Amino acid sequence: MKFKKSQIHISETMLVLFVVIVIIMLVVVLYFRITVENNKNLENDISEREATIMLAKVLSLDEISCNNDFCVDAGKFIPFKRALGDNFDYFRKIFGRKKITFRRVYPEPDFTVKDIECDISKYIQEIYPFNCGKWIIYENNPEGEMGTKVSSVVSLYFPEIDKYMVGRLEIEHYGSIKKY
């Protein structure tokens, strides 16, 4: 089959245009990917910064902090969780997409109770707070994202036994600037 000269010209032009368009598309896609990656990094940076600020903010929140001393009132953890259930939208505005956990560090909890969450069933026992090791006071991760943790040492006050203990506040944040 023989091609006319003009037909060959059209094919050549189309081929050149096709290659040029493909190159342009590749450049644009690459640019988009770099931009998306940059934005993702920016989002992670902002989320990390927010979580770090939250470390200090949680300690000053009247909902869980001691009234006079610079400590966290562990007696408010279980009431706080209950209030959280009744006012989740309200607290979601404060904490956003995070998981907030307090752990008892000193006196060091026994390894058998270290990862046991302190809930109402543990609270009513005589040996509380020595029968459990952590309090998850807030958790909001609707998209099941992987989190990054920041933490800080805190002073925990237990009004039930009138004693202070050393604890750790852990905030797991989910790399998203979407507040809720």
Partner 1 sequence: MKFSRIYRKKGDTSILFNWIFAIIAGAVILMFFVKFSFVSISGNKMLEGNRILVFLDDKLDAFGVGEGSDTINLNDDFKIGFSCGVISSGETANNNFYERSTDKVLFSPQILKGDEIKVWTKKWEFPYGIATFFYLGNPKNRILFVAESYNVDEVLSIADNIPPIFKVQVTDKQKFDPGLFLSQVKGYDKFTVVYFGTPSFTVNQLKSLYGVNVEVIIIDLENNTAKIYDSFGNVYDEFYIGDEMMYGLIFSGSGYSCIKERAIQRYQVIDSIYSDKVTRLMGKTKDQTCIDMLNEARKMLDNYRYINEKDDFYDMFDRIKKQNEDLEKKGCSGVYL
Q: How many Cα neighbours within 13 Å face the side chain of 36?
A: 6
Q: How many residues of this chain interact with partner 1, rule: CB under 8 A?
A: 50
Please give the span between the terminal C-alpha atoms of the chain, in angstroms, as a whole number: 66
By CB under 8 A, is residue 162 in contact with partner 1?
yes
Rounded distance, CA 177 to CA 180, Å?
9
Least distance from partner 1 to the Cβ atom of residue 53, Å:
5
| Nearest Cα residue to 129 out of 97, 99, 151, 159 | 159
Told to check if 85 binds partner 1 by CB under 8 A, we report no
Q: How far apart are CA 23 and CA 13, in angstroms?
A: 15
54: contact with partner 1 by CB under 8 A: yes
Q: Which of 22, 149, 160, 163 binds partner 1 (CB under 8 A)?
A: 160
The only residue of 3, 79, 106, 115 in contact with partner 1, by rule CB under 8 A: 79
- Is 102 a binding residue for partner 1 by CB under 8 A? The answer is no
Given candidates 3, 13, 19, 139, which one binds partner 1 under the rule CB under 8 A? Answer: 13
Q: Which of 37, 69, 110, 115 binds partner 1 (CB under 8 A)?
A: 69
Round to whole Å and give the CA distance between 95 and 99.
Answer: 9
User: How far apart, in whole angstroms, are the C-alpha atoms of residue 126 and residue 134?
Assistant: 17
CB of 173 to partner 1, least distance (A): 13
| Nearest partner of 104 among 161, 155, 171, judged by Cα | 155
CA distance 105 to 89: 31
User: Which residues contribute to the site for partner 1 (CB under 8 A)?
Assistant: 6-7, 9-10, 13-14, 17, 21, 24, 28, 35, 39, 42, 46, 49-50, 53-54, 56-57, 59-60, 62-63, 65-69, 73, 75-76, 78-80, 82-83, 86-87, 90, 93-94, 123-124, 157, 159-160, 162, 177, 179
